[in-house]
Amino acid sequence: MGKELSIYVHIPFCQKKCLYCDFLSFRANREQIRDYFTALRKELISASRDYSGYRVISVFFGGGTPSFPEAGEVCETLDLISQCFDVSKDAEISLEVNPASAIFDKLCRYRQGGFNRISIGAQSLDDKELKALGRLHDSETFLETYGNARRAGFQNINVDLMSALPGQDTASYLQSLKGVLELEPEHISAYSLIVEEGTPFFEMDLDLPGEDEDRLMYHETKRILKEHGYHRYEISNYARSAIYECRHNKVYWKRGNYLGVGLGASSMVENTRWSNVCDIHKYIEMSGSDGIRENLQRLTTNAQMEEFMFLGLRLVEGISVKSFEREFGRDIFGVYGDVIDRYKRSGHLRLEKDMLSLTDEGLDVSNTVMADFLLDDG
């Protein structure tokens, strides 16, 4: 059967960068885009030689805006992955799309080309809020895109929705949430805006909701989605059933092997991490060689245990005590007993049979709890 591998493909191009975005993305002309996809394919062919013994269980095209370039470039890249790697017949093959560029013909090409899951960045259904975010689409365009994705044959659709936006209040946010629920997508990612340093938002005087209102939106999201049959399986992610949980993202949270290809993409295989260069000229020039890789790091056992805890605890199901012992040859209570006991007493952690997980209260303050699972390498 071989070891399992997930592949992330970074498409860094956008028609326009949103005001809140801190991802590696930018505008480019047709020639640059063509050269980039040529380099991307060189990297895939080269990388495939190192992973002949791996079975690919998920592929995720993210960005940037993967729906911005020609659909042919994207589908040819996916086809190359199918040729070069051992891709499982039931692999989850995802593509992020922006309503502003995901026209019906493209969506049909994606579905025919092998994509079986699509993620649509709605963010809001309020046109004023979308404009404040710097989004190119309006609510009508999103609704049209969603309908076109269904017409194109997609039966696994995620919708991204953001809260705590400039000028937003709880009423307007819930209006967007209910509008998305009426569409009955299989999966919803609902998360609060974080104003990151280096983004235009960071330099702006924003009219953001207060902390209390932000928390109200968060709690109402949980309540309403549960009432509509969506189960929460990760801090910000909800699915109509277990089969629609994002398999690719769960690989990250469970510390599976993943290969990132493309500009700035990160990888983690057999406890070794690295990332690709962020300079597009260097990437295009050196793709297909080890020269595009940087920040190579073999994780220490302590670093692996830390990640096992603070990534795994993002999942509502939590982490397996026996899996920890199998993976590290250590008793979890010998390593983390004091921290676990403290948060069990405070009501933030629960231990049920083999599974250690955050309670609802723990998920609410997850960053604080997870920080206490860091170890001293000294």
**Cis bond upstream, residue 64 (ω within 30):** yes
pLDDT at 377: 61
Residues 11 and 89 in one domain: yes
* DSSP-derived 3-state class of residue 102: coil
Phi, psi dihedral angles at 312 (to 5 degrees): -65, -30
Residues 86 and 163 in one domain: yes
How many independent structural domains does the chain possess? Answer: 2
pLDDT at 378: 44
pLDDT at 202: 87
Instruction: Locate 254 and state its tokens.
Output: 């469970």
pLDDT at 57: 98
Q: Is residue 268 part of a domain?
A: no
Residues 127 and 10 in one domain: yes
Starting at the edge strand found earlier in the chain, the sheet holding 319-320 runs 319-320, 355-358, 349-352
- How many Å is the maximal CA-CA distance in the chain? 60
Q: Which domain holds residue 354?
A: 302-371
CATH code where residue 323 lies: 1.10.10.920
pLDDT at 346: 97
Measure the CA–CA gap between 277 and 264, rounded to whole angstroms.
5
Distance of CA 147 to the CA centre of its chain: 23
Q: Is residue 8 part of a domain?
A: yes
**Per-residue pLDDT tens for 249-294?**
999 999 999 999 999 999 999 999 999 999 999 999 999 898 999 9
Measure the CA–CA gap between 120 and 132, rounded to whole angstroms.
19
Low-confidence ranges of the chain (pLDDT < 50): 378
CATH code where residue 206 lies: 3.20.20.70
- Asked if 135 and 100 touch (Cβ cutoff 8 Å), the reply is yes
Residues 190 and 334 in one domain: no
Task: Return the H-helix or E-strand segment holding 141.
Answer: helix 139-151
The answer to whether the pTM exceeds 0.75 is yes
Residues 336 and 188 in one domain: no
CA dihedral of residues 308, 314, 316, 322 (deg, nearest 10):
10
